[in-house]
Each structure stands twice: as C-alpha cells, then as structure tokens.
Amino acid sequence: PQYAWFGDTVKNAIKELVMRSFLVGLVHRFDHLLVMLRYKLGVDIRQMIGVTTNHYKHPKPADWPPVSLTLLNNTGKIQTDWKFMNAAERIYNKQVREFGSDRLKNEVQIYTQLMKNLRRSCDPEGKEFRAAQRFLPRCKPGQGQCVFDADKCVKCMLQKYDACAAGTSVGFGHCEREVKVNLQNKK
C-alpha cells in the first residue's frame, strides 16, 4: 500500500506527513507541487526546467476494464490507499490555502507559460508531447536515432533560459519576468 512508506496505518502515515511538514503533492497537480516546492526550498525557476516523458508505461485507471476497477477497489489494500489519498488531498488543499490559492494559480501560470515557450523553442516538432503520450524507451548515449532525446532538449531549454535571463533575444520572446508582466497586462 502507498501509505506504508510513511507509517504502518493510514492514520500513522498521515500523522507522519503532518509532523514532518512534508509538502504533499498530487500527480494531477504536479506543476502546483513544483511551484510550492520552489518557494519552500528557495530555488530559482531554472531548477524546475524539464520535460515530460513516458519511459515506464503504466496503464491509467481510466484505461482499465470496469470489472478490474471494481475488483481492485473492493480489496482491502486499495481501500486503505484511497483513504490515504483522500487524507493526503486534504493536506494538499490546506497547503494550497496557506500558500495562497490565487498566488499559486498565478505562479503556476507563469511557470507553465515559460515551459511552453522553452519547449516550443527547443522542440518545435512537438516530439516531447508525443513522447509523453505513449511509451518510448529512453534515449541512451550512442543509441543513434531515437524519437525524443529528453536530455538534449533540457540542455537546450537551460541554454535558452540562461540567454533570456541575461537579456539576449532567444526567439520565443518571454523569460519569467516578461511572462509575469504579460499575464498581468491580460487581466
């Protein structure tokens, strides 16, 4: 069960998360987690630059047959995982309120727009998007042609970000500061 990483029961696992002031994140709100983590650790947005890949294809529950979902959800281990997820989501929601819901929304907008600008600049064919949608083995040094080289794309994104932060035109027009100004002007 998922909660076993933190405690021997769901209740103890949640106590442990709260006691240690863990920042709880949810997969479907991953950008939100990155933004809150950025401020909690005091890191620059540059440390958050990355790409999405799918090197390990796990079927999404939405793709499972209804019979499998019903059987799975009725097992004791899964029921405790759902309890753990619900409790973790309550902690996450409290963290969002403490961070400031509007502030988080604004910061996530800035982060996602910056990432879009960088990705478009370094991956104009949209290979990253296709790589995230289906299973693609990771590109390895010396492998030759592969569909999407995430490491190469991230290096390009970091170089573009550094150049942009230094005031050099990089072809996509907006660094973090400029994205903030553009989003504020749209309001």
Contacts 24+ apart (CB under 8 A), 181-185: 182/113, 183/106, 183/109, 183/110, 183/113
Residue pLDDT, tens place only, 116-156: 888 888 877 766 655 555 555 556 655 555 656 777 888 88
Mean pLDDT of the chain: 76
pLDDT of 102: 96
Over 80: is that where the pLDDT of 14 sits?
yes
Higher pLDDT, 69 or 100: 100
- For the entire predicted model, the pTM comes to 0.68
